[in-house]
Amino acid sequence: MKNTTIDNVEVINIPKIKDAKGRGNLCVIENAVLPYTVERIYYLFDVPSDASRGGHSHIACHELLVALSGSFDVVVKDGENSKTVTLNKPDKGLLIVDGIWRELDNFSSGAVCLVLASNKYEEEDYIREYSNFVKSKQ
């Protein structure tokens, strides 16, 4: 969407059930927690610490990013402003709405980035040139 900004990108709390007998934690993501219905799940892992992922925006797809393990930084841009969010807790998710440029880097060893997406994979939904992204926001 043309008029989304980085203010629309927010960290959401994922409901966590801490086991009463000390057996650890369980997090649940139901569609009710999200402003969309999950259509696709994918995850990034074994990302070298000097690698950058993302580097695109989506025309229609919304995504929730969760650091299931380890940590990484997410830089989001709306063509005017940018902010960096570090994800390092499995009970926090970064909701990236459509029309936002994102870059993921600084992956720790063993980091796993889970992505819950609103749409099926469609290359036509991607803008992969930053200059085209900026034009799309004007």
Q: Give me the active site residues, please.
A: 56
Burial 1-40 (b: 16+ CB within 10 A, else e): eeebbbebbeebebeeeeeeeeeeeebebeeeebebebee
CB of 132 to ligand TYD, least distance (A): 15
CB of 83 to ligand TYD, least distance (A): 19
Is the Cβ of residue 53 or residue 89 nearer to ligand TYD in the bound state? 53
Alpha carbon distance 26, 93 (integer Å): 15
Q: Are 70 and 110 in contact (CB under 8 A)?
A: yes
Is the Cβ of residue 21 or residue 120 nearer to ligand TYD in the bound state? 120
Is the Cβ of residue 42 or residue 45 nearer to ligand TYD in the bound state? 42
Which residues in this chain contact ligand TYD in the complex, by CB under 6 A? 40, 42, 44, 53-54, 56, 121
DSSP 133: H
CB of 122 to ligand TYD, least distance (A): 9
